[in-house]
Structure 1
Amino acid sequence: MGCLCISLILTACSRSTPPDADQTVSASEAQPTSTAHSQQSGKKLTELAGQASMPNESVSKVQQDLVDEQAPYVGRYHVKISCKDDFVQCSEGSAEYILTLAADGSAYRSIVYTGKLFSEKMAEDSNIRTYRRDTWSVNPEDSELVVHLEEGAEFYYRVDKQHNLILDLDRTLDLDNQINQHLFAAGYPMPTQAYRLIKDQ
């Protein structure tokens, strides 16, 4: 009688388990380790939140501090520049110089002339690309923002109280800055004024 009860209990317990449980376990065990790892690395942070191993907190804090530090400067800046300045290299009138600073550290520069982008032919003739993607960083303690050109040169800006950018000509054209001097010597147009780029509100 006692044996019969035990077998009934075991049978009842085994029925509460989903019928595919054995197949599910065997499928996950059969999966190669590298595939499981690659799937895990592709998951979103919200999917990993409940896992036992937490991300490195010091790295996360540094990244968060960087985001917080850059946040006030993210946005679109612009200034109208006369075509008399070779910096925008247009024939007459004026051009709008637009600098967009993205939260991921990318800097996008474009030059708009009479309401439309320059043609590629004009860009080839003028040694300046009307649209380009660079990177940027900021040093809030010195109120300085730097746009790092993909060629290695750097454009320096002072940041005013309204978070507008003022081109720092002295630092950008510094003769001791060999990379910048090489860029200008290769034909990249030099700015002639400390332009003030207004941030869009």
Structure 2
Amino acid sequence: MVSLFVFGITACSDDHDNVSTEQQETFQTASKDDYEPLTGKKLTDVAGQVATPIDEEGLADHISDNALPYVGRYRVVVSCKDPIVFCEQGTADFILNLLPDGTAHRTVIHLGTITFASENQYRQDYWKYDELNHQIILKRVSGVEFFYDIDKDKNLTMNLDRIANATDVNRTFFQEGNPFPHEAYKLKPENIK
């Protein structure tokens, strides 16, 4: 029995040595021209995907042409006293990325601290441009809609009255005690196409 065990270990060891030799020969003869360049994916393509599907009725695969000027990254610094940024002290960056495919990515970065990513720090939503009211409408996974007025400099300012009262879903959501912005924050464009 012991001899079978030793023989098995020896056989495995021999196979391992052969593979190692073959691998070494391959690495020694291969050049950088033998390999295809690696292509990467955006982080948002592979991580942080929405776990709960939202009702996508009325959402197109991409935004309308008149919404294209508003594609880009918007940012505002918010005090941690405001519960919408989910931090205890200091400030946080509230970042909104509007993409041409109609997705919106909300990120909250707490300045001066390193924390793990949570559902309160990153969310994928959907957006559209309301030409009649000259607003960006952000539809969250929960069904709540946030409304941002657009000024001449393409700043997005939260319209608190519409956020609180525009739909039954919104009214119920905030009446249940979910965080409501303390002020009408103005998100400034950082990277507008």
Q: Where on the TM-score scale, by shorter chain, does this alignment land: which range?
A: 0.5 to 0.7
Name the structure 2 match of 1:194: 184
When the two structures are superposed, what TM-score results if normalisation uses the length of structure 2?
A: 0.62
Gaps of 5+ in 1: 1-62
**Does the CA contact (< 8 Å) of 1:168 and 1:194 recur in 2?**
yes
SS at match of 1:188: coil
Relative to structure 1, the CA distance from residue 78 to residue 179 in structure 2 (aligned partners, 3 Å threshold; closer, same or farther) is same
Give 1 or 2 for the bigger CA radius of gyration.
1
Matches within 5 A, 1:14-29: none
Q: 1:150-194 deviations in whole A, cap 9, x for unaligned?
A: 1111000100011110000010012x6320122224443111100
Matches within 5 A, 1:122-201: 123=118, 129-174=120-165, 177-201=167-191
Letter in 1 for 2:138: V
The structure carrying a bigger helix percent of its residues is 1
Gaps of 5+ in 2: 1-59
Question: Identity of aligned pairs, percent?
Answer: 36
**Does the CA contact (< 8 Å) of 1:111 and 1:117 recur in 2?**
no
Cα separation, 2, equivalents of 1:71 and 1:104: 10
SS at match of 2:84: coil
Relative to structure 1, the CA distance from residue 185 to residue 92 in structure 2 (aligned partners, 3 Å threshold; closer, same or farther) is same
SS at match of 2:94: strand
When the two structures are superposed, what TM-score results if normalisation uses the length of structure 1?
A: 0.59
Higher relative contact order (CA 8 A, sep 6+): 2
Relative to structure 1, the CA distance from residue 85 to residue 151 in structure 2 (aligned partners, 3 Å threshold; closer, same or farther) is same
Cα separation, 2, equivalents of 1:118 and 1:186: 27
